Amino acid sequence: MTVARRDLLLGSAVAGLVGGIAPVPLFAADRRAADGAGALPMPAPSDQLPAALPVQDAARVLMDRGWLFHEGDVEPAPLDTHNATYLSVKAGNARGAAAVDYDDSDWQTVELPHDWASFQPFVKTANVAQGYRPRGIGWYRRSFRLDPALRGRRIELEFGGIATNATVWVNGSVVSHNFSGYNAVRIDLTPFARFGDEANVVAVRVDANAMEGWWYEGAGLYRHVWLGDYAPVSIATDGVHCDPRKTAQGWHVPVTTTLTSIAADDATVTVEARLLDPKGGIVAQGQAQATVPSLDQGMATLDLPVTDPVLWSVEQPTLYTVQVRVLRDGRVADERRVPIGFRTLRFDAAQGFFLNDRHVKLKGVCLHQDHAGVGTAIPDALIGWRLERLKAMGCNAVRSSHNAPTPELLDWCDRLGLLVMNENRQFNPAPEYRAQLEWLVRRDRNHPSVILWSVFNEEPMQGTPSGVEMVKRMAHWVRALDDSRPVTAAMNGAFFDPVNVAQVVDVTGFNYYQGDYDRYHQLNPAKPMTSSEDTSAFMTRGAFETDPARHIASSYDVEAASWGDTHRGAWKKIAERPFVAGGFVWTGFDYHGEPTPYEWPTIASFFGIMDLCGFPKVAFDIHRAAWVDDAPVVAIAPHWSWSGREGKPTKVMVLSNAERVVLRLNGKTVGEAAVDRLMGNEWTVPYAPGRIEAIAYRGGREVARAAHETVGAPVALRLTPARTVMAGDTEDAQAITIDAVDAKGRHVPTANLMTRFTVEGGAIIGVGNGDPNSHEPEKGHQRSLFNGLAQMIVRPDVGRGRITIRAMADGLKPASLRLDRLGVTPRAQVATVPAETDLRDWRRSPRFDTRPAADLAPAASDNNGWAFVRAGTPTPAEPAGWRIYRTMLTPRRAVVARGGELGFASIAGMASLYVDGKLVAEKRDPKPGPLSATLPAGEGKRTIALIVAGLGNIESGLIGRVTVRPR
């Protein structure tokens, strides 16, 4: 889409930039202080913005701003007459909050992504699996205008995800019922669209009481919304399949393009494809012809041979771009730019997973879309930051648990070099659920990060003939759309049953049951297998003694669910078996809901390697030691500030990937051993204040050192950002860490005190501290430190300037942080519509030869004698005479309170305007022109009647908009 074309959608909004795709650094690495003594357990800030995500479809424009939200259901008024009932079932005549003219003037303005459940308090009687947060029903509304130049083009509206069951209306007509919170909702607006001054109204009713998962799922429009306009013959959404292939003859990129048409006639187009290298240079190109039937689809296929491409890998995730253009009559009608990566993958029954014919052990984690403070409405930049935290500990794979991920997560994985097990939500081959599965594959099959399709998670029917028949069909549909990746299913049993779904998938997925790895492999030596879920260990960040009464789990990696194992034990079982391709730890981060092993007042899980905020637990260092191969690692636990514990035996864990480690306390060696990389090294040391340090050696040479010191009482707060710069576009977001320091500036890991914040030049959209037992609100400007740490999520204002953040706590020196807010071109947004009511729908009387009385009206059940007309539709030329145009106005609450202005943009003919039977204005010039009148404040319906005198032989009547604006 050109800027000129895009501006037709945007009004005054600014078009966004479309950049090239190249592998670039994203966020700061995990650079903690060299010896760790009193250091903040978070990475040092970056001084650069993260790389922009790719723009595949420049015809799509964000519609995240300008939404109005109402919590709770809105019941329409009862139908009290036959005529009202008759009209209510007609197209465009939705009632209640779905009606075009519904009064939403007192609804809350929100910006997407939006999770209204994240604003709720924790309530003991609410659903435990959903984290004790009430969800309920909510409504959203949004108005926008389309330029008349867009008539004849295909208009599409896409909701990235709606939690959970949703009904969508456009201009008073139902356009979609959706029964999943994880698939995109795509709506062809073309037949419903209105152009010019008449606004389009979208209404969405969301029933978040419906649950698909046993975890916190959020509520509402928690992913992006997009509006796109396309040529009559254009590329279908997700219509380009261009995943590279390698054969004996070398690499090639098969490009299949699905085309769709709303044109009146069949059309022949040229599809042109170019392969661009990371710098934008053309590597290969080709063309193909296609004929697209009217109101149907067509297909174009071509193939691009490639010589010696740079491969995409975990270490070097090199991305190319396939540019596909549709040319009609020599002009570009549509375009896509799809990032791809050249890589091969295979799962071997004996040796596990191979990427580019090189063995790669899957060091993975399971993820829910959820973060402290924002719930499921995670900004794109925060998604990237979370993934970079995983990459810093040596993680190379993620599993989308247990549903389709947001597409931005896959974009980040492509750039970071993270491998993805992409998982379907509903285990059901019925048509609606088949459509969800096929949507997932079509959307994600070009991502080089995706290596596995998982059709289900832990289904009781996995060991039944019915379950096998279901999986056979689902796997067949996946393979029909993508033959390059294997299909798996995350099974939690039935592996040895005579009939089970492992017999009809490509890779057997083990959820736990790690004691059965060897037996399964012996009985099925030709079947590849992987752990699809493992561990389920419990830790409370910063706590080193289990206390069931207080719902606290020790961080020494000794607590695990009955079905799982510790972090060390679970990985050891995977690492020592080459035939197990790898594992996916449950979970990378703590998440709201599914509180385990404790319930109320616990409101979140204990499973994470990191807590809800992304603060590391000891598990983070356990996995760093086991997973990081390209840099020395050494870490020590616990912290060394234990007032009152002097002389008592204290367990010390050292985690390292070196060969040998020495433990020293106040300069004296208290332990030395060969490193056990998988299980770590442990000593029991009498606690003495001072400095404890671990020194790691390889080849007799020191390669890394970690230390903790006994710190003093907190005297001041400290603010540490993820980045020192932010983009001034209101979309960027980052996590700011709050901690307390002692008189020497050292992190105090035992501080638990309330902190308060202010921000200028931005907004705080969420707060947290990682405590799974905390009931403090996750919105607002205060949060307690939990075991030394808290977090705020900050979103910048628009434009260049500074963001100033201040933190305060009673008795401590406050902290101040300044961030540079860079002037960037914001991504384009669909322009909003001013607060006004359009009086669109009118009844038009028959023509009278003599002037009728103003109170003349159709009978209550007359749907035939008086015509239904819309403002802006002229009455054709006819003999001279009079007509009455009547409508009913229920003023919006703002007009009720302050009065309003009734405005006719253009009336053809002389006219008299009556409100509730009273003459309020006249137009004496028969030429087309405006007319306005004041509406007094007050409640109740108003009857608007306009008597128009037509001169004959020319158009007459309402030839322009009719609006009511608050005064």
Contacts of 463 (CB under 8 A, 6+ apart): 493, 494, 497, 499, 500, 501
Q: Is the pLDDT of residue 171 over 60?
A: yes
**Burial group, residue 847, by CB count within 10 angstroms (0-12, 13-18, 19+):** middle
Q: Which residues contact 94 (CB under 8 A, 6 or more apart)?
A: 100, 169, 172, 173, 174, 203
Task: Please report, rounded to a whole number, the percentage of residues in the chain having pLDDT higher than 70.
Answer: 96
According to the model, what pLDDT value does residue 815 have? Answer: 97
Q: Can you point out the beta strands (E) in 699-761?
A: 701-709, 716-721, 725-727, 734-741, 754-760
- Distance CA(347)–CA(625), nearest Å, equals 25
pLDDT at residue 489 greater than cutoff 60: yes
What's the pLDDT band for 967 if we cut at 50, 70, 90? confident
Torsion of CA 560, 565, 571, 574, to 10 degrees: -160
Mean of pLDDT over the chain: 93
Contact 481, 453 (CB under 8 A): no
- Predicted local confidence at residue 35, as pLDDT: 61
The predicted model scores a pTM of 0.90
**Position with higher pLDDT, 20 vs 588:** 588
Question: And the tokens for 649?
Answer: 């035996």
Question: Using CA atoms, how far apart are residues 749 and 38, in angstroms rounded to an integer?
Answer: 9
Q: What angle, 0 to 180 degrees and rounded to 10, lies between the N-to-C axes of helices 407-416 and 431-444?
A: 30
Q: Name the burial class of residue 712, with classes exposed (0-12), middle (13-18) and buried (19+) by CB atoms within 10 angstroms of its CB.
A: middle
Helix H or strand E encompassing 384: helix 380-392
Least confident of 17-26, 49-58, 745-754, 792-801: 17-26
- Determine the Cα–Cα distance for residues 670 and 654; give it in Å rounded to an integer: 13
In terms of Cβ atoms closer than 10 Å to its own Cβ (0-12, 13-18, 19+), residue 274 is middle
Q: DSSP class of residue 17?
A: P
DSSP output for 249-312 = TEEEEEEEEEEEE--SS-EEEEEEEEEE-TTS-EEEEEEEEEEE-TTSEEEEEEEEEESSPPPB
Report in angstroms the alpha-carbon separations of 595 from 584, 617, 635, 723: 20, 18, 29, 32
- C-alpha–C-alpha distance, residues 411 and 449, integer Å: 9
For residue 44 the two structure tokens come to: 């040092």
Q: Name residue 195's amino acid.
A: F
Residues 506, 528: Cα–Cα separation, whole Å: 7
**For position 821, what pLDDT does the model report?**
96
pLDDT digit string (tens) for 113-150? 999 999 999 999 999 999 999 999 999 999 999 999 99
User: By three-state DSSP, how is residue 326 classified?
Assistant: strand
pLDDT for res 553: 98
Rounded to an integer, the average pLDDT of 8-32 is 34
Q: Lowest mean pLDDT of 542-546, 789-793, 855-859, 860-864, name the range.
A: 860-864
